[in-house]
Amino acid sequence: HADVANLTTVHESSALIEQRNFYSATIPLLNNKELRSFHEPIYRYEFQHWIGPNWVVHDLKHKESHQLRCNWFVEHSTWGNTLDQLSFANVMAQKDLERKIDWQEPDREMSANIQKKWTHIEAARARIIDDVTDWKEWIPIQSEGEGNKQLEPGTSYLEKIDQIARKQPKQGSNSAGGHDLYVRIMSKNIFLLLRKMVEGRIQQI
């Protein structure tokens, strides 16, 4: 993760400075609470998906994958600099915001209130899930026809993960109940571990 204002390189081009300054000025305006209804969920437009562009894999079997790649290319080409991580973070911020609004996901305040209602067992399970799984690396991407899909009520941590990620649709449900399109941004440790496993298998061939 990085802050837009602190994202610097050794040799900054004028195009990069212009792009970074534009984002830095735009984000506070979009997140201004005074411009929103008191009853409106407070969804934030924020840059939190940062990547190393030297290792990017696209699954182009889905048109959503094509759209993500095209959106990234258009955003990057608009500014004309070599730092495409910044453009990717902006595209993902837009997609995150659109998904949260359409799916009516809990905002930060609602999520905090839900966590306050957790039992000690649910809180312990939440910590275990965070420690032993990589679910936070998987960012769901909204598919065509998935607009206005409100999450089912529920307060348990596992239910929230299941509802947002849609990895395990309920038995007997059709494909509309499931979700299988994600952007996965691996942590450095997971990436190095998987790379070592692949290199080991190559050596065995």
**Model confidence over 64-89: pLDDT tens digits?**
888 999 999 999 999 988 888 999 99
Is a pLDDT exceeding 50 seen at residue 172? no
Best CA proximity match to 73, nearest among 84, 82, 81, 63? 84
**Residue percentage of the chain with pLDDT more than 70:** 76
In three-state secondary structure terms, 149 is coil
**Average pLDDT score, the chain:** 77
Type and span of the H or E element at 182? strand 182-184
**Residue percentage of the chain with pLDDT more than 90:** 17
Q: Which residues contact 99 (CB under 8 A, 6 or more apart)?
A: 105, 140, 141, 142
User: How high is the pLDDT of residue 158?
Assistant: 55
Best CA proximity match to 53, nearest among 24, 18, 82, 74? 82
Q: What is the pTM of this model?
A: 0.73
Is a pLDDT exceeding 80 seen at residue 200? yes
User: How high is the pLDDT of residue 159?
Assistant: 59
Assign 181 a pLDDT band (cuts: 50, 70, 90). confident
Best CA proximity match to 26, nearest among 100, 98, 69, 90? 90
